Amino acid sequence: MHARTLGQGLQVSAIGLGAMGMSQSYGPNPGSRDDMIGVLRGAVERGVTFVDTAEVYGPYVNEELVGEALAPIRDEVVIATKFGWRIEGGKSVGLDSGPEHIRKVADESLARLGIDVIDLYYQHRVDPDVPIEDVAGAVGELVAAGKVRHFGLSEAGASTIRQAHAVHPVTAVQSEYSLWTRDPEPSVLPTCAELGIGFVPFSPLGKGFLTGTVDASTEFAAGDIRSTIPRFAAESRDANQALVAHVRELADAKGATPGQVALAWLLAQQPWIVPIPGTRRLSRVEENAGATALALSADEVADLDAVAARIGVVGNRYNEAGMAMVGR
């Protein structure tokens, strides 16, 4: 797999791997912990060098899993994790990006991951109670101390990105972005382009919807976060099938899968965009990696844009509480 460069010269594989679903959010895991270690190591064997986790995934257990899996091949991978939540009794109870808290949880993440330095450290959500300049300054201190290499932001708005970048260079912004989530396009992506910041789309396959494997009849397992998301209500799924049908039509014509087309569309947007689809199956890792070899013409990209704009998407991507925490 070829490499791409985020901000500050950070090179990663063109497709990364989001590890969250190995520990939470999508119902019972079809595999064991050893199976997930096998998926993580198998992904690296197939050229994936960028793995994403966070302290709040689990909480904590996802970082431990990623750390154990990647320990033998640490020098081959870029490990990204995140801070910004106050976690009590095994649950997140609110935001906390106070500088003292950042310093504390950075040490804890390093210990769980079993590494000496965090390659990319994101603020998971913007904390309205802490000036972003203080957050950037605290991470800058961690960089100076050799505990962190690069600073990132997740789901931040353009103004926040600018303010943070003025204090300490931002390497990457991670937000949801796909054919059916275009929120970053008006202001965040132009800001990244102007400032030389990479962009890392999470849920690049629309939490599975753009793979064509979810429809109005799909029943979500207990614990599957999609059962709480308006966009995945049965009536919304039915209405949103039109976009997937068009993606599938193009995929069939090109001998590819809908998921590969959706990822190839993202890769075609900018050379500094690196999607991190999540999966718990090595077969999906291989399928997703195949998107890097799928060339979409300018006309095909424009056609997908036009269809997505015409059809639109029914339902928000988070519930009301979740939507309140993005784009700050």
**171-186: per-residue pLDDT in tens?**
999 999 999 999 999 9
Residue of 271, 275, 266, 257 whose CA lies nearest to 301? 266
160, two tokens: 């926040």
Answer yes or no: are the C-beta atoms of 118 and 137 closer than 8 Å. Answer: no
The three-state secondary structure class of 180 is coil
Domain-embedded: residue 53: yes
CB 192 within 8 A of CB 161: yes
DSSP per residue over 264-297, as a string? Answer: HHHHHH-TTB----B-S-HHHHHHHHGGGG-PPP
Pairing of strands 3-5, 11-13: antiparallel
Determine whether 315 is exposed, middle or buried from the number of CB atoms within 10 Å of its CB (0-12, 13-18, 19+): middle
Rounded to whole angstroms, the Cα distance separating 280 from 22 reads 6
CA 240 from chain centre, in angstroms, equals 22
CB burial of residue 327 (10 Å; 0-12, 13-18, 19+): middle
For the entire predicted model, the pTM comes to 0.98
pLDDT in tens, the chain (328 residues): 999 999 999 999 999 999 999 999 999 999 999 999 999 999 999 999 999 999 999 999 999 999 999 999 999 999 999 999 999 999 999 999 999 999 999 999 999 999 999 999 999 999 999 999 999 999 999 999 999 999 999 999 999 999 999 999 999 999 999 999 999 999 999 999 999 999 999 999 999 999 999 998 999 999 999 999 999 999 999 999 999 999 999 999 999 999 999 999 999 999 999 999 999 999 999 999 999 999 999 999 999 999 999 999 999 999 999 999 999 9
Q: 158-167 and 188-195 helices cross at what angle (nearest 10)?
A: 20
If one counts every other C-beta atom within 10 angstroms of the C-beta of residue 94, the result is 10
Answer whether residue 11 is part of any domain.
Answer: yes
Check residue 129 and give its pLDDT.
Answer: 98
pLDDT of residue 158: 98
Tell me whether residue 57 is one of the annotated catalytic residues.
yes
Domain that holds residue 192: 3-323
Q: Is residue 87 part of a domain?
A: yes
Residue 162 dihedral angles phi and psi, to the nearest 5°: -60, -45
C-alpha span between 243 and 246 (Å, rounded)? 5
CATH of residue 19: 3.20.20.100
**Alpha carbons 130 and 169: distance in angstroms, whole number:** 18
Contact 196, 7 (CB under 8 A): yes
Residue 328 covered by a domain: no
Do residues 289 and 48 make contact, with C-beta atoms less than 8 angstroms apart?
yes
pLDDT digits (tens, 9 = 90+) for 6-31: 999 999 999 999 999 999 999 999 99
Helix (H) or strand (E) holding 95: strand 91-95
Catalytic-role residue among 26, 57, 121, 177: 57
Q: pLDDT tens across 100-115, in order? A: 999 999 999 999 999 9
- The pLDDT, as a whole number, for residue 176 is 98
Phi, psi of 49 (to 5 degrees): -120, 15
Number of domains in the chain: 1
Residue 166 lies in a domain: yes
276: tokens are 């991190």
